[in-house]
Amino acid sequence: MEQQGISATEPDWSREAIRRFWDPGQKLLRAVRRYQAARARGGPVARLVSRYWALNHLFWSTICQSEIHLTCQIGGGLRLTHPTGIIIHPDARIGPNCMIFHQVTLAGPVVLGGHVDVGAGAKLIGPLTVGDHAVVGANAVVTRDVPAGATVAGVPARIIRQG
Protein backbone atom coordinates (compact mmCIF):
# COMPACT_ATOMS: atom_id res chain seq x y z
CA MET A 1 0.00 0.00 0.00
CA GLU A 2 1.30 3.45 -0.84
CA GLN A 3 0.01 6.62 0.77
CA GLN A 4 0.96 10.22 -0.04
CA GLY A 5 3.88 9.10 -2.22
CA ILE A 6 5.58 7.30 0.66
CA SER A 7 6.44 3.65 0.10
CA ALA A 8 5.74 1.25 2.95
CA THR A 9 8.60 -1.02 1.90
CA GLU A 10 11.54 1.32 1.22
CA PRO A 11 13.33 2.39 4.40
CA ASP A 12 14.36 6.00 4.88
CA TRP A 13 17.72 5.51 6.58
CA SER A 14 18.12 9.24 7.26
CA ARG A 15 15.54 8.84 10.07
CA GLU A 16 18.15 6.83 12.03
CA ALA A 17 21.06 9.20 11.44
CA ILE A 18 22.91 10.35 14.55
CA ARG A 19 22.83 14.14 14.28
CA ARG A 20 24.27 15.24 17.62
CA PHE A 21 26.22 13.87 20.54
CA TRP A 22 23.14 13.06 22.62
CA ASP A 23 20.86 11.00 20.37
CA PRO A 24 20.16 8.00 22.63
CA GLY A 25 17.44 6.48 20.42
CA GLN A 26 19.61 6.51 17.33
CA LYS A 27 22.63 5.22 19.23
CA LEU A 28 20.57 2.38 20.69
CA LEU A 29 19.40 1.41 17.20
CA ARG A 30 22.95 1.63 15.87
CA ALA A 31 24.11 -0.81 18.56
CA VAL A 32 21.35 -3.28 17.62
CA ARG A 33 22.11 -3.04 13.89
CA ARG A 34 25.88 -3.35 14.30
CA TYR A 35 25.51 -6.29 16.70
CA GLN A 36 23.29 -8.09 14.19
CA ALA A 37 25.69 -7.34 11.33
CA ALA A 38 28.68 -8.67 13.30
CA ARG A 39 26.81 -11.86 14.26
CA ALA A 40 25.80 -12.39 10.64
CA ARG A 41 29.46 -12.18 9.51
CA GLY A 42 30.63 -14.92 11.85
CA GLY A 43 34.20 -15.76 12.81
CA PRO A 44 36.36 -14.92 15.85
CA VAL A 45 36.80 -11.21 15.07
CA ALA A 46 33.08 -10.79 14.47
CA ARG A 47 32.36 -12.45 17.83
CA LEU A 48 34.63 -9.94 19.54
CA VAL A 49 33.01 -7.04 17.67
CA SER A 50 29.53 -8.33 18.52
CA ARG A 51 30.48 -8.36 22.22
CA TYR A 52 31.52 -4.72 21.97
CA TRP A 53 28.17 -3.81 20.39
CA ALA A 54 26.31 -5.88 23.01
CA LEU A 55 28.00 -3.81 25.74
CA ASN A 56 27.24 -0.63 23.81
CA HIS A 57 23.61 -1.77 23.58
CA LEU A 58 23.54 -2.43 27.32
CA PHE A 59 24.82 1.09 28.00
CA TRP A 60 22.23 2.80 25.78
CA SER A 61 19.46 0.49 27.05
CA THR A 62 20.31 1.58 30.60
CA ILE A 63 20.39 5.25 29.63
CA CYS A 64 17.01 4.95 27.86
CA GLN A 65 15.55 2.50 30.36
CA SER A 66 14.40 0.55 27.32
CA GLU A 67 14.49 -3.12 26.43
CA ILE A 68 14.92 -3.63 22.72
CA HIS A 69 16.27 -7.12 22.23
CA LEU A 70 19.31 -7.61 20.05
CA THR A 71 17.55 -10.35 18.09
CA CYS A 72 14.32 -8.61 17.08
CA GLN A 73 13.77 -7.77 13.41
CA ILE A 74 13.67 -4.02 12.82
CA GLY A 75 13.09 -2.51 9.38
CA GLY A 76 15.09 0.53 8.36
CA GLY A 77 14.05 4.05 9.24
CA LEU A 78 12.70 3.33 12.73
CA ARG A 79 12.22 6.52 14.72
CA LEU A 80 12.37 6.44 18.49
CA THR A 81 11.39 10.03 19.20
CA HIS A 82 11.63 9.70 22.98
CA PRO A 83 13.23 6.29 23.58
CA THR A 84 12.44 6.04 27.31
CA GLY A 85 10.70 2.91 28.57
CA ILE A 86 10.23 1.13 25.23
CA ILE A 87 9.96 -2.65 25.50
CA ILE A 88 10.10 -4.79 22.36
CA HIS A 89 9.72 -8.57 22.54
CA PRO A 90 12.47 -10.60 20.80
CA ASP A 91 9.88 -12.11 18.40
CA ALA A 92 8.48 -8.74 17.35
CA ARG A 93 8.96 -7.60 13.74
CA ILE A 94 8.95 -3.90 12.91
CA GLY A 95 8.49 -2.74 9.33
CA PRO A 96 10.31 0.14 7.66
CA ASN A 97 9.78 3.79 8.60
CA CYS A 98 7.82 3.17 11.80
CA MET A 99 7.71 5.62 14.69
CA ILE A 100 7.48 4.45 18.30
CA PHE A 101 7.01 6.91 21.15
CA HIS A 102 7.98 6.48 24.81
CA GLN A 103 6.58 3.86 27.19
CA VAL A 104 5.40 1.58 24.33
CA THR A 105 5.33 -2.18 24.85
CA LEU A 106 5.28 -4.72 22.03
CA ALA A 107 4.51 -7.90 23.98
CA GLY A 108 4.76 -11.16 22.10
CA PRO A 109 5.09 -11.74 18.37
CA VAL A 110 3.73 -8.37 17.24
CA VAL A 111 4.20 -7.50 13.55
CA LEU A 112 4.16 -3.83 12.58
CA GLY A 113 3.77 -3.08 8.88
CA GLY A 114 5.51 -0.21 7.14
CA HIS A 115 5.02 3.38 8.28
CA VAL A 116 3.14 2.54 11.49
CA ASP A 117 3.01 5.19 14.22
CA VAL A 118 2.59 3.96 17.80
CA GLY A 119 1.58 6.62 20.35
CA ALA A 120 3.06 7.09 23.81
CA GLY A 121 2.15 4.45 26.36
CA ALA A 122 0.48 2.10 23.89
CA LYS A 123 0.55 -1.61 24.65
CA LEU A 124 0.34 -4.12 21.79
CA ILE A 125 -0.20 -7.63 23.12
CA GLY A 126 0.43 -10.27 20.49
CA PRO A 127 0.22 -12.30 18.53
CA LEU A 128 -1.16 -9.61 16.25
CA THR A 129 -0.42 -7.72 13.05
CA VAL A 130 -0.70 -3.99 12.45
CA GLY A 131 -1.11 -3.10 8.76
CA ASP A 132 0.87 -0.53 6.76
CA HIS A 133 0.26 3.17 7.51
CA ALA A 134 -1.80 2.43 10.63
CA VAL A 135 -1.82 4.67 13.70
CA VAL A 136 -2.08 3.41 17.27
CA GLY A 137 -3.26 6.11 19.68
CA ALA A 138 -1.57 7.03 22.93
CA ASN A 139 -2.25 4.61 25.80
CA ALA A 140 -4.21 2.24 23.56
CA VAL A 141 -4.25 -1.43 24.47
CA VAL A 142 -4.26 -3.41 21.22
CA THR A 143 -5.12 -7.11 21.41
CA ARG A 144 -6.41 -7.72 17.86
CA ASP A 145 -5.11 -7.19 14.34
CA VAL A 146 -5.28 -3.63 12.98
CA PRO A 147 -6.06 -3.21 9.27
CA ALA A 148 -3.84 -1.13 7.00
CA GLY A 149 -4.49 2.61 7.18
CA ALA A 150 -6.68 2.40 10.28
CA THR A 151 -6.41 4.50 13.42
CA VAL A 152 -7.10 2.70 16.71
CA ALA A 153 -7.47 4.09 20.21
CA GLY A 154 -8.88 3.20 23.60
CA VAL A 155 -8.81 0.35 26.09
CA PRO A 156 -9.36 -2.09 24.50
CA ALA A 157 -8.41 -0.47 21.20
CA ARG A 158 -11.14 0.07 18.63
CA ILE A 159 -10.98 1.44 15.12
CA ILE A 160 -11.85 5.13 15.25
CA ARG A 161 -10.96 5.93 11.65
CA GLN A 162 -10.64 3.68 8.64
CA GLY A 163 -7.95 4.63 6.13
**Looking at the structure, do residues 55 and 91 belong to the same domain, yes or no?**
no
**Looking at the structure, do residues 79 and 41 belong to the same domain, yes or no?**
no
Find the domain containing 95 and state its range. 66-163
pTM above 0.85, yes or no: yes
**Looking at the structure, do residues 134 and 83 belong to the same domain, yes or no?**
yes
Which of residues 64, 86, 116 is at a domain's end?
Answer: 64
CATH of the domain at 140: 2.160.10.10
Which of residues 64, 93, 115 is at a domain's end?
Answer: 64
Is the pLDDT assigned to residue 146 strictly greater than 90?
Answer: yes
Catalytic position from the list 69, 82, 102, 133: 82
Confidence grade of residue 31 (pLDDT, cut at 50, 70, 90): very high
Give me the pLDDT at residue 9, please: 74
Percent of the chain with pLDDT over 90: 83
The mean pLDDT value for 118-142 works out to 96
**Looking at the structure, do residues 28 and 86 belong to the same domain, yes or no?**
no
Identify whether 3 is part of a domain: no
**Looking at the structure, do residues 78 and 139 belong to the same domain, yes or no?**
yes
Active site residue 82: yes
HSE-up (13 A, CA, CB side) for residue 5: 0
Give me the pLDDT at residue 128, please: 96
**Looking at the structure, do residues 75 and 155 belong to the same domain, yes or no?**
yes
Identify whether 2 is part of a domain: no
Count: domains in the chain: 2
Is the pLDDT assigned to residue 5 strictly greater than 80?
Answer: no
Confidence grade of residue 8 (pLDDT, cut at 50, 70, 90): low
**Looking at the structure, do residues 95 and 145 belong to the same domain, yes or no?**
yes
